[in-house]
Amino acid sequence: MFKIVYLFPLFLVLVLAGCAHQTTNNNSTPIKTIKLGVIMPLSGDAAAYGEQAQRVMEYYLPQINERYKDKNIKFEAVYEDGKCSGNDAVSALQKLTDIDGAKIIIGGFCSSETLAIAPLTKDGHVLAVSSGSSNSAIEGASPYLFTLSYRDDVVAKKLADETGKYKTVAIISEQNDYNVGMRKNWLEAMKAYPNTKIVADETFPKGANDFRSILEKVRKTNPDAIFLNPNAGMPSQDLIKQLAEIKDWNGYQLISQYMYMSPEILKAAPAKSEGMIIVDSPSIDNPELLAIKKDIEASKGTLTDLGVYYTASTIDTLNVVTSLIAELGDDPKLVRQALVTRDFKGYISDDINFKNSNFTPTGAAVYVVKNGAVELQK
């Protein structure tokens, strides 16, 4: 009896602790908390993208929770750092599913992250929706993997349209999933331009930061245009800075992608980046979205690296995923079924759908650097 008296408070504490995570609203109806696993690069070269996407989510998730308050549903984002690396993304996914119990993942953001977690989603115990992965290898990688990003092969085709205007062209690529995929797609798309000769095709290992000998090798081939294909962050900045060091080498057209949309990168070598052609996501001028972006920037910080498209795709991903979970629960199989059969409206498009693809249909646009700023080319 003595022991039971002492064990009772312990039992009570355990029961209360077990109930602690289930909060209640004013009407004493239990609120169901659903964990959304989020995998993004929160450190490393691509950290700017992850941190800024996190700002969008932290700004927008409370609004979504307000929306589903009446249904007694609360979404909680659990962030894990994928470091833009396959190994780290896999560890992050395992932690999110095994420890946090998340069944729906938003991410990865980098293609390296998303492609690495693809095999782990195949059995349907977890579903992942990316807002930023564009590598065309995602197509068919897993039935439980989707992305709202534009596609690399669409961008590569547009890049080929631009580089195909010149007689000779060189490409400098970094060896990582994204840039290797982009190089492959671009080389394929360039077959449509037999009059353009690829005079240099240089690659450098991930983590390299001295490109001077590579640039000298490209300079020797005297190309009319150079397609810069490095990773976002410091490689892209170092590459253009070291290109600018060669003062007597001019008269070529620089062509690149999203990594040079960042004002910080352009500022590193303003004279050299002037006139650069950038192929990127379709331009979005939805005033409502632009107002949200402005508000996020005012309250949470800059979104300059993320840009308008990925701000929109992050919000759309949250909207699509949470609306389906609110309706069907966080069962990956049910959510997938809805994703592949329905149409959704969002900021990136009025017709977001995954009926025939792991990608939603999108295009690409051409921009040009003028007076240090990126402008849509008419």
Partner 1 sequence: MFFWQILLNSLVLGTQVLLLAVPLYLVHSVSRIYHLALGASGIFTAYALYFALSSNWPLGLAIIFSAVVAIILGFISYHLLGSSIKKKETMPGMLISLALGIILESLISIIFGTDAKSLVSGVLPVISWGNLYITVPGVITLSAGAILALLFLVLLNKTPWGRKLISVAENDNLAASLGMKAVSVRLGVFMLAGLLAGFVGIITTLNTALVPTAGFPLVILAFIVLLTGGLNSFKGVIVATYVLTLIPEFIIGLSGDNWSLNASWKMLIVFLLATLILMCRPNGLFISQTRSD
For residue 230, give the DSSP letter. -
Structure tokens at 173: 């690529």
Q: Does 304 bind partner 1 (CB under 8 A)?
A: no
Which CB sits closer to partner 1, 88 or 162? Answer: 88
Q: How far apart are CA 188 and CA 253, in angstroms?
A: 21
Q: Does 216 bind partner 1 (CB under 8 A)?
A: yes
Q: Does 218 bind partner 1 (CB under 8 A)?
A: no
Q: How far apart are CA 57 and CA 263, in angstroms?
A: 23
Q: Which residues in 216-230 are b (16+ Cβ under 10 Å) and which e?
A: eebbebebbbbbbbb
Q: Does 47 bind partner 1 (CB under 8 A)?
A: yes
The window from 14-22, 219-227, 280-288, 315-323 that contacts partner 1 (CB under 8 A) reads 219-227
The window from 104-112, 182-190, 200-208, 346-354 that contacts partner 1 (CB under 8 A) reads 200-208
Which residues make Cβ contacts (< 8 Å) with residue 377, sequence separation at least 6?
A: 277, 365, 366, 367, 368
x/- string (CB under 8 A) for partner 1, residues 242-271? --xxxxx-------------------xx--
Which one among 9, 18, 205, 251 touches partner 1, defined by CB under 8 A?
205
Say how many residues touch partner 1, by CB under 8 A: 37
Q: How far apart are CA 289 and CA 285, in angstroms?
A: 8
Which CB sits closer to partner 1, 62 or 207? Answer: 207
Which one among 38, 48, 127, 325 touches partner 1, defined by CB under 8 A?
48
Residues 73-102 that bind partner 1 (CB under 8 A): 83
Torsion 259-265-271-274 (CA) sign: positive
Integer angstrom CA distances of residue 17 from 13, 14, 20, 92, 143 = 6, 5, 5, 27, 38
Residues 120-159 that bind partner 1 (CB under 8 A): none
- The terminus-to-terminus CA distance of the chain in angstroms comes to 85
Binding site for partner 1 (CB under 8 A): 43-45, 47-48, 83, 175, 201-205, 207-210, 212-214, 216-217, 219-221, 233-234, 237-238, 241, 244-248, 268-269, 272
